[in-house]
């Protein structure tokens, strides 16, 4: 009998890439993609999976308790990977209530259904932003024991979801793992995020906005490396443990933008500095040694991964241009 894997938020960037990764790697799995298809949800990335008996799409909202209970009862999932989340910091500043509803209440509803129907593993996909930010000392990093000190409404909602997942493990014994990743990049990323936004604007000769002075530092992780980490934790992670996932690729936002513009042979005067985001974190840096001890290491360095990502967006305008127009 094939194992059943529920991927929530599978029409999004990381969840969508994870579905592709698992379909390629595990022919013995049936994969269910549950997504509400909000503005960032897109099924075009899964066209090649349509008609595959191992892939099933279900449109639904993870906050709908009765629907989730019915779905879990019907399908008897073995594993749940929760990617479903509102994730754009700027949007959380404008409307924090949506983030609390989806990211906190939705996670609790899923945890409740997973507990009720005996799911063998629940993986909560989180973010390094729950730790707050670091100074610019390159010797300091977030570890799994770093305190949760979120500074944005988005990261506060993700920290709350993490604590809910932890509590379901400690209180009820639900087998849970939490992964906290650094900034992902790669194919099918919605073009409101820094890298695809810069690629799209630079390709079209438009101004590329950079917050503040552009000195904010992020650790960049290729989405395929993230998928491999989730796969490893799903199958070998110790129940109840948190694992940090980092790409060891720290760059300032301005450095990233300049690399993209140079790769596309565009002039740097496309860069336009704009007013800084409220509560903008200075630096993220991940210590992923705990996960590396489990057997994971990133395959992509930033230069190679970024080059491949730019090539992908150049070759797949059919996917992102309609999203930009919308």
Show which residues are catalytic: 128-129, 154
Q: Report the candidate in 162, 161, 157, 154 with the shortest Cα–Cα distance to residue 244.
A: 162
What would the 3-class secondary structure string for 107-142 be? HHHHHHHHHHCCCCEEEEEEEHHHHCCCCCCCCCCE
Alpha-carbon distances of 189 from 73, 101, 256, rounded to whole Å: 32, 23, 16
d(CA 272, CA 201): 12
What is the DSSP annotation of 237-298? Answer: PPTT-EEEE--S-EEEHHHHHHHHHHHTT--GGGEEEEPPPTT---B--B--HHHHHTT---
Task: Characterize the bridge pairing of strands 250-252 and 217-222.
Answer: antiparallel
Q: How many CA atoms lie within 13 A of 286 on its CB side?
A: 31
186 touches 17 (CB < 8 A): yes
42 touches 84 (CB < 8 A): no
What letters, b where the CB count within 10 A reaches 16 and e where it falls short, cover 2-22?
eebbbbbbbbbbbbbbbbbbb
* Strand order from edge to edge, sheet including 3-8: 55-59, 29-35, 3-8, 79-82, 121-127, 176-181, 242-245
Report the SS3 class of residue 147: coil
| Maximum distance among all Cα pairs of the chain, rounded to whole angstroms | 58
């Amino acid at each position: 009998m094939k194992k059943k894997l529920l991927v929530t938020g599978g029409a999004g960037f990381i969840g969508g890439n994870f579905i592709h990764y698992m379909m390629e790697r595990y022919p013995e799995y049936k994969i269910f993609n549950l997504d509400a298809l909000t503005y960032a949800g897109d099924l075009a990335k899964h066209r090649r999976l349509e008609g595959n008996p191992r892939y099933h799409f279900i449109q639904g909202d993870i906050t709908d308790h009765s629907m989730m209970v019915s779905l879990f009862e019907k399908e008897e999932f073995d594993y749940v990977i929760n990617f479903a989340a509102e994730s754009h910091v700027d949007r959380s500043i404008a409307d924090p209530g949506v983030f609390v509803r989806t990211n906190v209440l939705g996670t609790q509803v899923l945890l409740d259904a997973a507990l009720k129907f005996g799911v063998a593993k629940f993986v909560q996909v989180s973010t390094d932003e729950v730790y707050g930010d670091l100074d610019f000392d390159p010797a300091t990093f977030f570890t799994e024991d770093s305190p949760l000190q979120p500074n944005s409404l988005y990261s506060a909602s993700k920290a709350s979801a993490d604590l809910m997942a932890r509590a379901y493990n400690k209180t009820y014994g639900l087998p849970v793992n939490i992964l906290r990743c650094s900034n992902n990049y790669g194919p099918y990323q919605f073009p409101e995020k820094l890298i695809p936004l810069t690629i799209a604007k630079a390709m079209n000769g438009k101004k590329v906005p950079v917050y503040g002075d552009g000195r904010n530092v992020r650790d960049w992780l290729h989405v395929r490396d993230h998928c491999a980490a989730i796969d490893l934790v799903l199958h070998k992670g110790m129940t109840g443990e948190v694992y940090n996932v980092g790409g060891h690729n720290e760059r300032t936002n301005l450095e990233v933008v300049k690399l993209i513009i140079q790769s596309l042979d565009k002039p740097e005067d496309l860069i336009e500095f704009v007013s800084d985001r409220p509560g903008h974190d200075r630096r993220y840096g991940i210590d992923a040694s705990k996960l590396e001890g489990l057997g994971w290491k990133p395959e992509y360095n930033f230069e190679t991964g970024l080059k491949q990502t730019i090539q992908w967006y150049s070759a797949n305008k059919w996917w992102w241009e309609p999203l930009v127009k919308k």
